[in-house]
Amino acid sequence: MNQKIYRELSTFASGASLLIRYPQEDKVRYYHDSHFVLLDKIEDLKFQRGFVFAPFDLASGLPILHLPENKCVELSLDKIEIDPIDLDNRQFPITDLYRREFATFNHAVASGEFHKLVLAREAKVGLNMTDDQYPQLFFSLVSLMPSACVYMLHIPTKGIWIGASPEILLHSFESGAETMALAGSVSNLNNKSPESFGSKNLHEHEVVVNYIEDVLKCLDIPYHTKPIETVPAGKVCHLRTPFSIDEPLSLEMMARVVARLHPTPAVAGLPKENAMRFIIDNESLQRDYYAGFFGLWNVDNQTSLYVNLRCANIQYSSNDANLVGRIFAGGGIMPSSQCEEEWQETVLKQSVIRQVLKPYLNE
Ligand SMILES: C=C(O[C@@H]1C=C(C(=O)O)C=C[C@H]1O)C(=O)O
């Protein structure tokens, strides 16, 4: 049966294709033989039904990609066996580039110009794998991250995006909707209470909570929050405040909520527009679709969008035609942030993708 599914997926990387598994679900949705519809703005989603993949910076020139629903088949997960995966416990020393960028970001928050800024970076790895091995990557990630939304997308000429996100941007269903503030991270070594995260993490979290509240109030949407909680995601543990929206949202309102929320200060900063400008000008990383959002829009009367985190892009490099993986991670910078700690947080956030890429590393 395993073989049959892998045979069915052997043409995954020959066109526009997607595999997606929602948290705790025992099925995978497979979109194939499809074509991307390119959208300019979030509001254009109103008329669509299917998968959506949006960049971090909607003004960057990268389009919002949409795969229509009619090309989807469902695969049952209980028929898939996955090889055990080794833990990756390597150390990754901090780079001078990260020290410099941290200093720039930290100075900008310490000076009071920003309440918070998120600094991200990429780790590049050389890979040795064939197109028919990509589905194995996806199923390894599915087995490692049962509570995450796991996806793998093939974009012809742009390669693969793969990720396992713990962060809902907007989940909307017939009777209401939900979103969350997910920010503030520590290593996931033992059970943690929110207080044990320390004041820097609690404050960084509060910035996101206040921002989401402002967006919902501004749109006149009734909501309530649940008490702050801690959630594990791979080797890190986060602070989370769940938001429940107590009335159904129209497609038009959903698009407005998403357009206002994205990008939240969990991945960008505050004040929002200035923080976006600052990140684009001062981060050496090209975020592309990292810290954008993805998920199903208006499928089976539901919309489930996630922030594109714990992800990587795999592509042939244009100069030497080698296959390169760019593994992304970032973290919120506050006045009291410490460079080494922030670096370690990104190492931990990258570890789950490193783990699934390990069998294919070219080193
Ligand atoms: C930016 C990332 O994660 C975000 C930042 C967090 C933080 O700074 O504590 C926590 C969860 C996410 O909202 C990432 O994973 O790359």
For residue 50, give both structure tokens. 């299917």
Q: pLDDT at position 318, please?
A: 82
Mutate to test the pocket of ligand 1, among 180, 267, 279 (most ligand atoms within 8 A of CB): 267
Residue that the structure tokens 């066109």 belong to: 15
How many angstroms separate the CA atoms of 119 and 270, rounded?
Answer: 13
Identify the CA nearest to 152 among candidates 165, 168, 167: 165
Closest ligand 1 atom to residue 201 Cα is 9
Please write the tens of the pLDDT for every residue from 86-141. Answer: 776 788 999 999 999 999 999 999 999 999 999 999 999 999 999 999 999 999 99
**Contact, 295 vs 149, CB < 8 A?**
yes
Please write the tens of the pLDDT for every residue from 304-315. Answer: 999 999 999 999
CA 33 to ligand 1 centroid distance, Å: 34
Please write the tens of the pLDDT for every residue from 260-293. Answer: 999 999 999 999 999 999 999 999 999 999 999 9
Residue that the structure tokens 């069915």 belong to: 8
User: Where are the chain's structural domains?
Assistant: 2-83+94-360
Task: List C-alpha distances in Å: 330 to 146, 327, 342.
Answer: 22, 11, 8
DSSP 3: H
How many angstroms separate the CA atoms of 360 and 281, rounded?
Answer: 34
pLDDT above 70 for 79: no
Share of the chain above pLDDT 90, in %: 85
Mutate to test the pocket of ligand 1, among 98, 116, 118 (most ligand atoms within 8 A of CB): 118
How many angstroms separate the CA atoms of 360 and 84, rounded?
Answer: 15
Interface ipTM above 0.85: yes
E strands of 98-235, at which residues?
116-127, 149-155, 159-165, 168-173, 176-187, 223-225, 229-233
Q: pLDDT at position 1, please?
A: 44
CATH number of 2-83+94-360: 3.60.120.10
Please write the tens of the pLDDT for every residue from 140-154. Answer: 999 999 999 999 999
